[in-house]
């Protein structure tokens, strides 16, 4: 027995959201679980986790075993290279969890969550940084997203590390003076930045606490510190470059298109970064519209599934129902 139902997956590096819904936009279940990234779990582990979460969603929706899903749409961190997308597609399709399956990078879910505009570029700056773009004819733009191996710069992990880096160098005289030094000491209630570094190295401070310094960087930059300000401007440069290259590849620079900004660093709207980006993008593409993501990316995964079920375009009424529900 076949029903016009779908499962949509947004699999990030830290958690996975799964939604089960119907053709008319009703959300029947939503579950959250651990990451399904193959970079973290390996391909077999990612597939096993995916099967578990979809089973949980079916149970939460009280879906009988004889009801088959029409569409499974999986958007997952770690599906960066074409070969990675191909391998995931093959693995997911072989599970026969739905009549048809789609697998791609999680940024496409973020992009669809941010806009229904067919011409769009999305930039995520959370723990890491990446960008994708799409054009109404189906052409896409993407980056390898392999960190320094592929020339990437930015993301919360790097910003936090740079905060400690500059604080250390200012304290021992290798670098210019910066109030990051005092801010880092005070944040961890330790007498020196060197003591902070040693505590992180020895495990007296959990490595996870290093990420707290990302927010500290923006606070110090907002107070006028020159060193912190240079790091924020460097991030602005990088995000502008991601938009410029993505839009250029799609021949959108002079056209009306939407830029979606997502990830914790960008959705925080830190004034120096946010206002700088608005100014840069306006100069780069005067006809572009910038939006900051306010809808969970799993909504984008659901809308992409519904686009497929509705022959390429989810009706506005159905889209509105999904956005309201999620």
pLDDT band at 14 (very low <50, low <70, confident <90, very high): confident
pLDDT at 21 over 60: yes
Which residues contact residue 208 at a Cβ distance below 8 angstroms, ignoring those fewer than 6 apart?
Answer: none
Cα 129 to Cα 72, 136, 200, 288, distances in angstroms: 26, 24, 24, 21
139 inside domain: no
* Contact call for residues 49 and 76 (beta carbons, < 8 A): no
33 inside domain: yes
User: What is the C-alpha to C-alpha distance for residues 164 and 201, in angstroms, rounded to an integer?
Assistant: 13
Domain that holds residue 90: 5-116+295-325
Mean of pLDDT values over 16-44: 95
Mean of pLDDT values over 58-76: 95
110 inside domain: yes
223 inside domain: no
Burial of residue 267, with CB atoms counted within 10 A of its CB: 0-12 exposed, 13-18 middle, 19 or more buried: middle
Exposure string (b/e) for 4-27, b if CB count within 10 Å is 16 or more? Answer: ebbbbbbbbbeebbbbbbbbebeb
* Contact call for residues 167 and 197 (beta carbons, < 8 A): no
Mean of pLDDT values over 158-170: 98
Mean of pLDDT values over 117-137: 96
Please state the domain count of the chain: 1
Q: What is the pLDDT of residue 12?
A: 86
Mean of pLDDT values over 56-73: 95
30 inside domain: yes
Could you tell me the pTM of the whole model? 0.92
User: What is the C-alpha to C-alpha distance for residues 40 and 50, in angstroms, rounded to an integer?
Assistant: 13
User: Which tens digits make up the pLDDT trace of 169-212?
Assistant: 999 999 999 999 999 999 999 999 999 999 999 999 999 999 99
pLDDT at 50 over 60: yes
Q: In what order do the strands lie in the sheet with 129-134?
A: 140-142, 129-134, 120-125, 258-262, 289-292
The DSSP call for residue 233 is H
Mean of pLDDT values over 12-40: 94
User: Which CATH number covers residue 78?
Assistant: 3.30.420.40
Mean per-residue pLDDT of the chain: 95
Among residues of the chain, what percentage have pLDDT more than 70?
Answer: 99
174 inside domain: no
User: What is the C-alpha to C-alpha distance for residues 246 and 131, in angstroms, rounded to an integer?
Assistant: 8
User: What is the C-alpha to C-alpha distance for residues 100 and 79, in angstroms, rounded to an integer?
Assistant: 18
* Contact call for residues 79 and 85 (beta carbons, < 8 A): yes
108 inside domain: yes
């Amino acid at each position: 027995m076949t029903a016009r139902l779908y499962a949509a997956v947004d699999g990030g590096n830290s958690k996975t959201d799964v939604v089960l819904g119907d053709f008319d936009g009703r959300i029947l279940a939503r579950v959250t679980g651990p990451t399904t990234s193959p970079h973290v779990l390996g391909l077999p582990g990612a597939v096993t986790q995916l099967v578990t979460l979809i089973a949980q969603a079916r149970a939460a929706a009280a879906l009988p075993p004889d009801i088959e899903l029409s569409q499974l749409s999986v958007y997952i961190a770690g599906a960066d290279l074409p070969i990675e997308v191909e391998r995931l597609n093959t693995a997911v399709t072989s599970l026969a969890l739905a009549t048809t399956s789609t697998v791609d990078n999680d940024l496409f879910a973020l992009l669809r969550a941010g806009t229904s505009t067919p011409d769009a570029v999305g930039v995520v700056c959370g723990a890491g940084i990446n960008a994708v773009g799409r054009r109404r004819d189906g052409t896409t733009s993407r980056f390898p997203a392999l960190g320094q191996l592929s020339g990437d710069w930015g993301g919360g992990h790097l910003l936090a590390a740079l905060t400690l880096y500059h604080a250390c160098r200012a304290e021992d005289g290798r670098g210019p003076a910066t109030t990051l030094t005092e801010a880092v000491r005070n944040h961890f209630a330790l007498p020196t930045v060197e003591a902070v570094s040693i505590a992180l190295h020895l495990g007296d401070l959990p490595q996870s606490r290093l990420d707290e310094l990302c927010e500290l960087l923006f606070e110090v930059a907002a107070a006028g510190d020159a060193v912190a300000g240079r790091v924020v401007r460097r991030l602005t440069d990088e995000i502008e470059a991601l938009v410029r290259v993505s839009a250029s590849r799609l021949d959108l620079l002079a056209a009306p298109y939407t830029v979606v900004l997502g990830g914790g660093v960008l959705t925080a709207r830190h004034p120096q970064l946010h206002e700088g980006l608005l100014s840069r993008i306006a100069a780069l593409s005067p006809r572009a519209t910038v939006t900051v993501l306010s809808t969970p990316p799993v909504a984008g995964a659901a809308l992409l599934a519904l686009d497929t079920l509705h022959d390429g375009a989810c009706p506005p009424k159905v889209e509105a129902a999904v956005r309201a529900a999620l």
